[in-house]
Amino acid sequence: MAIVAITSSPQKNANTEFVVKTIAKSAEENGKEVVYFDINSMANRKGCQACDACKKNGGKCITKDDLAPLIDAVKDSEGVIISSPVYFGEACGQYRLFEDRLYRFFGVAPEDSIAPGKKVAVVTAAGSGGADELADKMCGHLVSFFKFEPVGKIAMITGNDRKYAEKNEEIIAQAKAIGKKF
Ligand SMILES: Cc1cc2nc3c(=O)[nH]c(=O)nc-3n(C[C@H](O)[C@H](O)[C@H](O)COP(=O)(O)O)c2cc1C
């Protein structure tokens, strides 16, 4: 089983991506396998269509797009690293598409859903405020709905400096420590 590292910011090599990759590399150094998904790079991505087909066919989603392998990978994973910038006080649209697609795991048999006890680390970044609240919200969804176990949170106020995290030794150390918890 692999750890699924998810980036969603449209800013390449900026704060959330840098921290997710630092956590992931630390986990890899600890012998873990990591698979990477960058939602913003997916050309074909759809939101949940609310068709409820998943409720009739054992939790399978009939929407076949670039997000489908990511949702499958989360089900098969050992844990996930989730991330989003704060956009208008919320997760960015790219991340929200991912969250809604987890709907396929609601109201289905336990073996068709996400097994409880998977680990989750969360990374958020805001220009001026709301990173901590968003991180708690994103992580809280996975904990309350799917019984993930939190292993770490990094919520940054970046002042819109794309390289804020890269220049911050404390954040880098925190990220490496979280990677070791997987
Ligand atoms: C569409 C958009 C909306 C944003 N909304 C907020 C916001 O509500 N609050 C805030 O503090 N920063 C906001 N920002 C700034 C980003 O959260 C900030 O630049 C963050 O560091 C980006 O993360 P990244 O470096 O991983 O891309 C917004 C930026 C954009 C492009």
What is the per-residue pLDDT across 25-45, written as a single tens digit (0 to 9) for each?
A: 999 999 999 999 999 999 999
Q: CA-to-CA distance for 107 and 105, rounded, in angstroms?
A: 7
For ligand 1, whether the C-beta of 165 sits within 6 Å is no
Residue 106: which pLDDT band, with cuts at 50, 70 and 90?
Answer: very high
Residue 111: which pLDDT band, with cuts at 50, 70 and 90?
Answer: very high
pLDDT at 116: 98
In single-letter form, the type of residue at position 171 comes to: I
For ligand 1, whether the C-beta of 79 sits within 6 Å is no
For ligand 1, whether the C-beta of 162 sits within 6 Å is yes
pLDDT at 162: 98
Q: Exposure of 131 by Cβ count < 10 A (0-12 exposed, 13-18 middle, 19+ buried)?
A: buried
Domains of the chain with bracketed CATH: 3-179 (3.40.50.360)
pLDDT at 163: 98
Centre of ligand 1 from the C-alpha of residue 33, in Å: 30
Identify the sign of the CA torsion 107, 112, 116, 121.
Answer: negative
pTM score over 0.75: yes
